[in-house]
Amino acid sequence: MTVLVGPNVRLRPLDDGDLTVYQRIYCSPVLTRYLGVDRMTPQKAIASFYTPTPRKLVFAITSHDDDRMEGMIGLLLEEYGSNAMCTGLVILPGSPLKGCGAEAGRLLFAHAFGPLGIHRVWAGHRADHTMMGSVMTEAGLEPEATLRELFHTQGRWHDVTTYAAVAGRWREQASPLELAIAEGAVLSRS
Ligand SMILES: CC(C)(COP(=O)(O)OP(=O)(O)OC[C@H]1O[C@@H](n2cnc3c(N)ncnc32)[C@H](O)[C@@H]1OP(=O)(O)O)[C@@H](O)C(=O)NCCC(=O)NCCS
């Protein structure tokens, strides 16, 4: 079990107690609007919760002193190269962790570049989801490209603006805490 603790948030693996919040996220037309998957029915959300995607790590985002899931973030370890895709970042509306999406990403990247041995992490947002640009750059990702018609949701194809971080360059802007996580020294346990 890996738990990553940052200044404001904690990432822990999903557990069965997270199903209600998971359903709330994936059945919401608002929260799924820009995601790469369509809004789910409650039954489909349950099936998806109990059918993990191979090579995908999914973490609940919580505060330090309350284990309740306030959001989630995932990392898909790709088979080609030493590449991983950050995916499915969500923070619940009204959460005390509002504004912490980038911090959650940074913790995950520190873990990826350290204990997971990943060299490159990328992430993307729908080209029309422009507010994500600041979340991406705050997480230490740099703009790369636009991928045309990458995914199909809500009945149409969407272009995706991509960002990436490579290990050495990301470490240059990492905090001491993030570097310690990347070195496997603190606050990350498997
Ligand atoms: C993505 C998400 C986790 C970011 O949450 P967060 O870390 O709490 O981010 P914030 O709400 O602080 O917003 C980040 C930035 O966008 C801006 N922003 C937020 N809502 C906005 C809006 N409706 N219009 C314009 N800008 C907006 C904020 O001012 C902030 O800008 P800043 O960094 O310059 O201050 C959250 O918006 C979310 O869960 N969205 C639904 C799921 C989703 O779309 N995920 C991303 C898929 S790529």
Q: Which domains does the chain have, with CATH numbers?
A: 4-182 (3.40.630.30)
Query: Which tokens is 38 given?
Result: 């369509």
d(CA 92, CA 19): 14
- The residues, ordered by sequence, that sit 6+ positions from 187 with a Cβ below 8 Å of its Cβ are 3, 4, 5, 177, 180, 181
pLDDT over 90 (residue 156): yes
Task: Report helix, strand or coil for 170.
Answer: helix
Which of the listed residues 91, 107, 158 should we mutate to test ligand 1's pocket, taking the one with most ligand atoms within 8 A of CB? 91
pLDDT over 70 (residue 7): yes
| Ligand 1 pocket residues where CB is under 6 Å | 31, 34-35, 89-91, 98-102, 125, 129, 131-132, 134-135
C-alpha dihedral sign at 8, 178, 139, 115: negative
Q: 64: number of CA atoms within 13 Å, CB side?
A: 5
28-80 per-position pLDDT tens digit: 999 999 999 999 999 999 999 999 999 999 999 999 999 999 999 999 999 88
What sections of the chain are H helices per DSSP?
19-26, 42-49, 101-113, 132-138, 167-172, 176-182
pLDDT over 70 (residue 186): no
Cβ-count burial of 113 within 10 angstroms (0-12 exposed, 13-18 middle, 19+ buried)? buried
Cα–ligand 1 centroid distance for 6 (angstroms): 19
What confidence tier does 187 reach under pLDDT thresholds 50, 70, 90? low
0.85 exceeded by pTM: yes
